[in-house]
Structure 1
Amino acid sequence: MTTPHTAPAGGTTPTRALVVSSAALFTDMLVHGLAVPVLPLLPSVVEVGPEATGILFSSYAAAMIIATLFAGRIVDRYGPRTPLLIGLVGLAAATLLFATGGPYWLLLVARLAQGIAGGMSWVAALSLIAATTPMEKRGQSMGIALSTITLGVLIGPPLAGFLVEHFGTASPFLFAAAVALADGVLRIVLVKDSPRVTDDTAGPLAVLKVPGSFSIVLAVAVGAAVLSGIEPVLPVHLGASSLTIGLLFGLAALASIIANPIVGRLVSTASPRLLVGAGVVAVTAALVVTGFATELWQTCIGMILLGASSALLLAPATTLISEQGYKSTPPTLGGSFALYNLAYAAGLAGGPLLTGISTGQWGFTSAMVITAAMLAVIGGAALARLPQAARQAE
């Protein structure tokens, strides 16, 4: 009999699990990023207005949250391989539907399919790591896999802008379909069996019950909402080309990539409340600057602040949520990262919905101010009971 982290001959090793999981998360967020500079500018989307555009963008995360609940049950019953393959089929279908360019209802179906695929893939990816990797190395492996999310977000928008400029609006999604195919080959070839988790059975609810976890959830949600919130409204507001829009969002993601290791080092010495508080201030400043910007360079400053704020909020939260998992009964890492993913998805859903409705009712500048105020309140609430890092509390 094999242990949860010892693969049988020809089975799934920890290295294979990490490669497949990282590729699955990267591909999902790459497709998400490819859609950013393209979907808001499609004629079928422009016609329906900012409110419906916000719904289109938030529907991905809403479907992801629902799929996550079912994915957990499927993983428990059949192991991670089945939802990985379900996610692959859903992602392939979504990319091909996006390539049609409309009508709006068909793009909404594609977005929902993408969200279902994401929910299945995210849960299965983390479960695969948990089932094959020893507990002492599990947190590091999950952290590496989750870091590929930012890589997908960084590459997606500028790549989509380049493809649209040279090959048309369908090209980013046809490219995404090819990437999904390559990702599918990895899932099929490297995951031969379907290992189960036997030493990490607690779910996200167990971690949420630990004092301070809800504050971390709020910080993660704000970190996700701040960038996703401007995705459906900024392209139309600027009226710029897809390449320019892609580069702007790539600039924000690049700022986050640069800031993440810096903030990561500070987590071990600075108070998480100080870092998250700085992130909340940066969120407010970024949205206000973007809302009142009249020149492209001013928008660039706003996007850089957005990327930095995301790092200030999410880097401490990632460390804290894993420590909360060790405090839960029973201890769990899988449950803590599942809670992180749910919080992240909630932010992805709430941000576009808030900005889309606000822009439709009161215009872009007012929407940015309203969003900044609401996220500042939520972020401030997160600071109230945010736990200290364990090494600081000792």
Structure 2
Amino acid sequence: MTKHHRSNSAGGTTPTRALIVGSTALFTDMLVHGLAVPVLPLLPAVVEEGPAATGVLFSSYAVAMIIATLFAGRMVDRLGPKTPLLLGLVGLAVATMLFATGGPYWLLLVARLAQGLAGGMSWVAALSLIAATTPFEKRGQAMGIAMSTITLGVLIGPPVAGFLVDHYGTAAPFLLAAALALADGVLRVVLIDGSPKVSDDPGGPASVMRVPGSLSIVLAIVVGAGVLSGIEPVLPVHLGATAQTVGLLFGLASLTAMVANPVVGYLVPKVSSKVLVGGGVVAAAASLLVIGWASALWGVCIGMALLGASSALLLAPATTLISEQGLRSDPPTLGGAFALYNFAYAAGLAGGPMLTGVAVQQLGFSSAMAVTTGVLAIIGCASLFKLPNQGAGTISRD
């Protein structure tokens, strides 16, 4: 393995500043994503189009994010992360203002695509900024902190949106998002001095994907992201509840994930990854079945709590394992490892809503949850075959 040197924090951007800006960018993006969860499915323009169109609306964010990620990588290589960060900010501001109009459907779809493009730019640039200013030996820890802000944004977004909708109308969450984007932009301009580039991390996601076991990790991430995102477009309409109730339900899932994440993180080096991920697959399947057949709100609450636990069991080990895979790749790369994580996460965000939206429209809610359970269980079980095992500071394949 080649020796890695401290990255050049060009222009005076310190690792701390980079971590603040990068983490805030990720938090803002996922907060806006979370704000949309209890609002978009209940807008008249979306309800009129049906569950399948609602699934397309939610999936379009991730599809646009994947497309933007491909171009953002090249832009970061040529210009550094500051320009893509600012472009992402502009896209997010445009998206939030379009969402505030409330329709028609095609305009909301444009807004969702703009949000996804902005997210792709911001995610790649934020992680690249952290990688460019943080010593290689401390980069994994910094990346982990940044990725944890994603869960925080998802946690806060839905309940805040539900409260604002019930008290101030459907435009209120998106006006709040626009204000937060403005504050985020100030941080991006003030704290980033110059446009530092990574000089010691030349590998990309393709090199990490070639490491044995990476495909299994990718599949676990897809299931972890897909199971929660699949519920987002269909549950609000099925329940017929207020936006605040829907927001609190999704907040419950995210809160459970936040509480479970450190517990699972503690267990990662002590317990077989197959046990943790397998438990996540079981919890994900159980959650969808409980939600699909619950006849009372308390049953849905149990299902959402299981959903949050499944997210922690699937994604917490995957975050650790993917960084280890990056260190095993040739050349070693942490930036490429987390780029691969982003691709897998976005794939889950795209596939989950598309699957549930079409299934609900064709089969009804309960049957759709059963079908989705079967699909995710198959993918989840496939992820266990060559899943690397973390333990005692080393990785080995079972």
TM-score (norm 2): 0.97
Offset at residue 26 of structure 1 (A): 0.2
Offset at residue 114 of structure 1 (A): 0.3
2:221 and 2:315 in contact (8 A); partners too? yes
Which residue of 1 is the match for residue 40 of structure 2? 39
Which residue of 1 is the match for residue 317 of structure 2? 316
1:95 and 1:176 in contact (8 A); partners too? yes
1:22 and 1:145 in contact (8 A); partners too? yes
Which residue of 2 is the match for residue 13 of structure 1? 14
Which residue of 1 is the match for residue 371 of structure 2? 370
Offset at residue 244 of structure 1 (A): 0.1
Which residue of 2 is the match for residue 54 of structure 1? 55
2:7 and 2:200 in contact (8 A); partners too? no
What do the CA deviations read for 1:326-366 (whole angstroms, capped 9, x no partner)? 11000000000000011000000000000000000000101
CA distance in 1: counterparts of 2:216 and 2:113, whole angstroms: 29
CA distance in 1: counterparts of 2:24 and 2:380, whole angstroms: 31
Which residue of 2 is the match for residue 252 of structure 1? 253
> How many residue pairs get matched?
391
Which residue of 2 is the match for residue 107 of structure 1? 108
Which residue of 1 is the match for residue 270 of structure 2? 269
Which residue of 2 is the match for residue 209 of structure 1? 210
Offset at residue 192 of structure 1 (A): 1.8
Q: Could you tell me which runs of 5 or more consecutive residues in structure 2 were left unpaired when the two chains were aligned.
A: none
2:326 and 2:332 in contact (8 A); partners too? yes
1:72 and 1:123 in contact (8 A); partners too? yes
Matched, 1:76 2:62: no
SS of the equivalent of 1:229 reads helix
1:4 and 1:196 in contact (8 A); partners too? no
Q: For residue 279 of structure 2, what is the amino acid of its counterpart?
A: A
Which residue of 1 is the match for residue 161 of structure 2? 160
Which residue of 1 is the match for residue 150 of structure 2? 149
Which residue of 1 is the match for residue 287 of structure 2? 286
Q: For residue 273 of structure 1, what is the amino acid of its counterpart?
A: K
CA distance in 2: counterparts of 1:374 and 1:309, whole angstroms: 16
Matched, 1:327 2:328: yes
Offset at residue 7 of structure 1 (A): 3.2
Which residue of 2 is the match for residue 27 of structure 1? 28
Which residue of 2 is the match for residue 65 of structure 1? 66
Which residue of 1 is the match for residue 184 of structure 2? 183
CA distance in 2: counterparts of 1:28 and 1:180, whole angstroms: 9
Matched, 1:169 2:173: no
Which residue of 1 is the match for residue 357 of structure 2? 356
1:254 and 1:307 in contact (8 A); partners too? yes
Alignment identity in percent? 73
CA distance in 2: counterparts of 1:165 and 1:231, whole angstroms: 18
Q: For residue 312 of structure 1, what is the amino acid of its counterpart?
A: L
C-alpha root-mean-square deviation of aligned residues, in Å? 1.0
Change (3 A) 1:88 1:393: closer
Which residue of 2 is the match for residue 140 of structure 1? 141
Change (3 A) 1:86 1:293: same
Q: For residue 141 of structure 1, what is the amino acid of its counterpart?
A: A
Offset at residue 390 of structure 1 (A): 5.0
CA distance in 2: counterparts of 1:109 and 1:189, whole angstroms: 30
1:49 and 1:360 in contact (8 A); partners too? yes
CA distance in 1: counterparts of 2:8 and 2:377, whole angstroms: 46
What do the CA deviations read for 1:232-281 (whole angstroms, capped 9, x no partner)? 00000000000000000000000000000000001010000000000000
TM-score (norm 1): 0.98
1:200 and 1:334 in contact (8 A); partners too? yes
Offset at residue 5 of structure 1 (A): 3.2
1:158 and 1:250 in contact (8 A); partners too? yes
Offset at residue 389 of structure 1 (A): 1.2
Q: Could you tell me which runs of 5 or more consecutive residues in structure 1 were left unpaired when the two chains were aligned.
A: none
Q: Which runs of 4+ in 1 moved over 6 A?
A: none
Q: For residue 100 of structure 1, what is the amino acid of its counterpart?
A: T
